[in-house]
A and B are shown apart, each in its own frame.
Chain A
Amino acid sequence: MYETIAFYLFSALTIGLFLITVMSKNVLYAMTSLAAGMVLISGFFFILGADFLGVVQLIVYVGAIMALYSFAMMFFDATRDIKEKNTNSGLVFLLGGLSALVLVMIFAAPIHSDAVQALYPMHEGVGNAQDVGIVLFTKYLVPFEVAAVMLLVAMIAGIILAGKKMDQSLTEDASADDEILIQKDAK
């Protein structure tokens, strides 16, 4: 009973918030509703009893969207609306059609719900974290390790791209100041 109410509440809120994310022309509304929607998605995990995944969803997306905010801060004025240019109507047609197709498939999916079975059900008396850990290090070991290597590569690439003048402090070193000014003038 409570779970049904909670499910419909979370569903309505999540869909509404993500609609705002897509429709709004204000970057602050879009980002905030995206963050709130991501936080509410963790509610579905909690309803399903997957506490660990719910918390991971919470932590990961809170941090990830915080990083997106910093980009929004750099590129947009958060208190003004953004004028969008839609020159490519073919692309809009294609994306709209794909969304409609996905929607139809989502609504048709329950027809085949019998075919869906939980291959790795939760164990009674064992914590969520332990269950996830066992599955990660047996069945999904290879994807897990590949993801880890990809993240490592991305991290090293990021450090190399950004770290050319890491030892110089921009605020302490006067020559760095000059360099920034020169680059500005050159533009």
Chain B
Amino acid sequence: MEIVTYTTVETFVNHLPEVTWVGSLIKAVLILAVISAIAGFGTFIERKVLAFMQRRLGPMHVGPYGLLQLAADGIKLFTKEDIVPQNANKLIFMIAPAITAATAFIALSAVPVFPDFTIPKFIPVLGGTFVPSIASDLNIGILFVLGMMAAGLYGPLLAGMSQANKWGIIGAARTAIQFLSYEVVTGLSILAPIMLVGSLSFVDFNNAQAGGIGSWLIWQQPVAFVLFLIAGFAETNRTPFDLLEHEAEVVSGYATEYSGMRWGMFFIGEYANMITISVIAAIVFLGGYSEGGLGWLTIILKVGFFFFLMLWVRAAWPHVRPDQLMWLCWKVLMPIAVINVVITGIVMMV
């Protein structure tokens, strides 16, 4: 394997910066490693941030400032018994968590997480390899990511329907209505920026906003930005739209019967989706990684800001009822999104 890698890199070093399969592979491994680590660490950050906002300390006992709580949780999840209920549809019950986790990472394969870079020459074997910003640069990137994230909701839906549990069924029903509500708003809100840039590729979005803060699309499309954020919260099941598993109402919704690592996979998927939505918002509306040499830092700051915003909102707002979510999406947000698209079209034509 290593010999093959070496010879291929040797041939590709000659014509840089072409995207090689080695570069794509490095990027894919990078995304998998970094995002699953952040997704795990995100649970710790969430507990800490929520604790500070509620004047508590949060996890403190395991390691300094509770930093090793993550390891403790991981050991607990991995060693817990994997229970499959007797009357459940066992096959569907067992593959449902994998759908959530897998689609979350497939969606990330078309998202530019960091800027492109070239590995320095002094590093053996891989030196000089050009690592692209996106593992696979589709020219319809935005649609692919949104479609894949939508497919991710089959995880909660199938989990809820297969587990022969009333709370699970209610969770699955809420998944379906939540999906049918927010999906229209996501598509229509992001349509206006797409019209302005004239492309569905994330790289084109990034390049269109290369002229500094003044050229960010948020200034031209503030309405679309707010709508996309609200729909993004619904897409990632964050408060105030965490209807699928709201503890006070439906025990744990679709996740009621799950334990151990299958339960953990739902949450890895959910945190990966939070990062995806943050990256999309940062690239489509806040200029992405276009700031020259500092692009890698600014994109991390922007993504971090959106991640923090999700935790902040969770600490600040109660959640809504399912009928309120449907009312909000279909009667308020969708008309605003349509009007926004029409006005954008008129302004562009005149």
Contacts and interface: CB of A to CB of B under 8 A. Distances in A.
A51 B139 contact: yes
Given A73-B172, A171-B323, A129 B154 contact: no
A66 B138 contact: no
Contacts, number: 85
B200 A129 contact: yes
B76 interface: no
B38 interface: no
Q: Is the interface of B mostly helix, strand, loop or mixed?
A: helix
A28 B92 contact: yes
B140 interface: yes
Interface stretch (B155-163, B220-228, B296-304, B306-314): B155-163
A58 interface: yes
A170 B323 contact: yes
Contacts of B321: 171
Interface in B144-169: 144, 146-148, 150-151, 153-154, 157-158, 161-162, 164, 169
B89 interface: yes
A96 interface: no
Interface in A39-98: 39, 51-52, 55-56, 58-59, 62-63, 66-67, 69-70, 72-73, 78-79
Grouping DSSP codes into helix (H, G, I), strand (E, B) and loop, the A interface class, with mixed when no group exceeds half, is: helix
B179 A28 contact: no
Contact of A78 (B89, B154, B187, B199): B89
B338 interface: no
B21 to A, nearest CB: 11
B193 to A, nearest CB: 14
A28 B169 contact: no
A128 interface: yes
A141 B283 CA distance: 34
A51 B145 CA distance: 13
A66 B139 contact: no
Given A55-B140, A59-B143, A127-B139, A66 B153 contact: yes
Interface of A: 26, 28-29, 32, 35, 39, 51-52, 55-56, 58-59, 62-63, 66-67, 69-70, 72-73, 78-79, 127-129, 169-171
28 contacts: A28-B89, A28-B162, A29-B89, A32-B154, A32-B158, A39-B151, A51-B140, A51-B144, A55-B147, A56-B143, A58-B148, A59-B143, A59-B147, A62-B150, A63-B183, A66-B153, A66-B154, A66-B180, A67-B180, A69-B161, A69-B172, A70-B180, A72-B161, A73-B169, A73-B176, A78-B162, A128-B139, A129-B140
B177 interface: yes
B88 interface: yes
A58 B147 contact: yes
Nearest to B110: A55
Given A66-B180, A129-B200, A26 B89 contact: yes
B140 A28 contact: no
Contact of B89 (A52, A72, A79): A79
A79 B87 contact: yes
Interface residues of B, number: 35
A58 B151 contact: yes
Interface centre among B146, B157, B169, B321 (most CB of A within 10 A): B157
A62 B164 CA distance: 24
Contacts of A69: 157, 161, 172, 176
Contacts of A171: 321, 323
A32 B200 contact: no
A24 to B, nearest CB: 11
A55 B142 CA distance: 10
B230 interface: no
Contacts of A129: 140, 200
B67 interface: no
Interface in B174-196: 176-177, 179-180, 183, 187
Contact of B150 (A51, A63, A127): A63
Contacts of B143: 52, 55-56, 59
B173 interface: yes
Given A28-B161, A58-B147, A79-B87, A70 B323 contact: no
A58 B199 CA distance: 19
A169 B324 CA distance: 9
Contacts of A56: 143
Interface string B315-337: 00000010100000000000000
A79 B162 contact: yes
B213 to A, nearest CB: 28
Nearest to B154: A35
A70 B88 contact: no
A70 B179 CA distance: 11
Given A28-B161, A59-B146, A70 B92 contact: no
